Structure 1
Amino acid sequence: MDSTTHKLYHEHNFDSRQCLEHYFSDKSDMVFGDDLLKSLIDNLRQVFAVGHINGDILIDLSIGSFIHHLYSACEFFKNIIVLKVNNRCIMELKRWVDERTGAFYWGHTSRLLQEKEENSDQFEDKEGKVRSAIQHIVKYDLEKENMTDPLVLPPADCVISAWLLGVISKDQDDYIRYLRKFSKLLKPGGHLVLIGSLDTTYFTVGKDKFHGFTYGEDFVRKALVGEGFIIDYCKVQERTAVSDLIDYKAVIYIAAHKEK
């Protein structure tokens, strides 16, 4: 399939539950455990704990309806505001937050985090803690000046965005434009944590192929610096998963703070 015919995450029908099943489940044939589950948990524990990133409000702008990237964050922020681009993602996430029948199972990621805890015998209910921290789930529109209009969000101490910029951006100009929008959600001196897949052209959900913007580490670094950020942490994890569902070459974890 030519890339020009790929669907766009924020414009076409995106099956958030199928995305979870493909890339984040505990099924035996789910091959992304190391790349998208373990690696993410390891890096975010380090980013938040070592980077002194904390405060009252964290805004999450991420693809789909996954939540395990918030396990570490909920230890450092009192309130989490989650922004989603479509109703399907909102419904899937609310099903989990409200502990409804049929909610996606995240127990395998809780166990992964427990293995990393120094005092695993005193391990707390991380899922319960994330549920309590999520104060609002809000729909947004990328093309509005205020993405959550008419709601005006309080400035955030931190914005975390996982795998979103790479799927909503058609080119470099788009990436920088959306990065600037995300930046406006921050307080002066606030932190931005980005997770993305490098050198991606597509990802598959169900029978549909979705667009992925192809970029590398150097581009992300230059984009952040150009928007007034100072980079505090950057790690690139080479791909280990064998699958044709998606064609990324590596996952990048990068944290930066906004100059005051």
Structure 2
Amino acid sequence: MMDSSPHKLYHVHDFDSRQHLEHYYSDKPGMVFRDDTLKFIIENLREVFTVGHINGDILVDLSPGSFIHHLYSACEFFKNIIVLKANNRCIMELKRWVDERTGAFYWGHTSALLQETEGNSDQFEEKEGKVRSAIQHVVKYDLEKENMTDPLVLPPADCVISAWLLDVISKDQDDYIRYLRKFSRLLNPGGHLILIGVFDATFITVGKDKFHVFTYDEDFVRKALVGEGFIIDYCNVKERTALSDLTDYKAFISIAAHKEK
């Protein structure tokens, strides 16, 4: 079936990962998304991992672009992080940071947010080092394959975290549930799934391009998780504060659930 959306699809069309970082995660003047995309994520995920007692050996990250701040807390609770990316551009951008190469995106501006969240935490450089050490593999995936990392077979994960990916790869409700089921197969029985998404959005701007975002609400995502055999442990919704025409979401959601054994 032809896609009727006038916007590009993240996993199909060229996606400028550096522009994505500059628009939504940088410290440049006029960056209005600080409280939404940076502060909320850092604070909320710390709470999710700590209060939910979510920990283990392997965490799989399925998120668009090349941001890393959602892994600040994860590296304290998981020994190994496997990052899955849809395209080579995002992989190269992430590896530039992991390998500390010239031109890597600067995350130092999140240091204050991290200290506010963790109190007397490690120095920021130490935290970055922990994230780099925890990231064992960066792997390209293909959503249309039965095993989306074929020919590589991933070990079962204790936790899968997916920030905004289901929002930008799903054309409709059926797509969302189909991909959610595929993500679920990466988990051990009893494993945890953490989803971060946005409500009532239709697009996100990256550079000169607009990318499709699937429109849904809290009721839908709750029913989708329960329908796939998950028990919801935590849910937090934050109304949008950013004033920008780069994207049209109304609110953020962070929801954690575990898979029934």
1:68 matched to which residue of 2?
A: 69
Distance 1:87 1:217 in 2: 32
2:169 matched to which residue of 1?
A: 168
- 1:171 Cα offset (Å): 0.1
- 1:118 Cα offset (Å): 2.4
Q: Is the 8 A contact 2:83 2:138 kept in 1?
A: yes
2:92 matched to which residue of 1?
A: 91
The residue correspondences of 1:4-23 to structure 2 (distance < 5 A) are 4-23=5-24
Instruction: Name the SS for the 2:210 alignment partner.
Output: strand
1:246 aligned onto 2:218: no
1:45 aligned onto 2:34: no
2:215 matched to which residue of 1?
A: 214
Listed as ranges, the gaps of 5+ residues in structure 1 are none
Q: Is the 8 A contact 2:46 2:117 kept in 1?
A: no
The residue correspondences of 1:1-260 to structure 2 (distance < 5 A) are 4-120=5-121, 122-123=122-123, 125-260=126-261
- 1:24 Cα offset (Å): 0.3
- 1:150 Cα offset (Å): 0.3
Distance 2:61 2:204 in 1: 21
Listed as ranges, the gaps of 5+ residues in structure 2 are none
TM-score of the pair, normalised by structure 2: 0.97
Distance 2:192 2:23 in 1: 30
- 1:5 Cα offset (Å): 1.2
Instruction: Name the SS for the 2:143 alignment partner.
Output: coil
Distance 2:238 2:116 in 1: 20
- 1:28 Cα offset (Å): 1.4
| Partner amino acid, structure 1, of 2:80 | N
Distance 1:53 1:203 in 2: 31
Distance 1:230 1:49 in 2: 18
Deviations 1:99-151 (A, max 9, x none): 0000000011133102222224x546111100000000000000000000000
Deviations 1:196-254 (A, max 9, x none): 01110000000000001000000000000000000000010000000000000000000
Instruction: Name the SS for the 1:115 alignment partner.
Output: helix
- 1:26 Cα offset (Å): 0.6
Deviations 1:139-167 (A, max 9, x none): 00000000000000000000000010000
- 1:46 Cα offset (Å): 0.3
| Partner amino acid, structure 2, of 1:209 | K
Distance 2:120 2:112 in 1: 13
- 1:10 Cα offset (Å): 0.4
Distance 1:234 1:244 in 2: 27
Q: How many residues were matched structurally?
A: 257
Q: Is the 8 A contact 1:57 1:80 kept in 2?
A: yes
- 1:6 Cα offset (Å): 0.4
**Identity percentage of aligned residues:** 83
Instruction: Name the SS for the 2:69 alignment partner.
Output: coil
Distance 1:259 1:224 in 2: 11
Instruction: Name the SS for the 1:83 alignment partner.
Output: strand
Distance 1:166 1:133 in 2: 26
Distance 1:110 1:84 in 2: 25
Instruction: Name the SS for the 2:72 alignment partner.
Output: helix
TM-score of the pair, normalised by structure 1: 0.97
Q: Is the 8 A contact 2:166 2:176 kept in 1?
A: yes
Deviations 1:163-188 (A, max 9, x none): 10000000000000000000000000
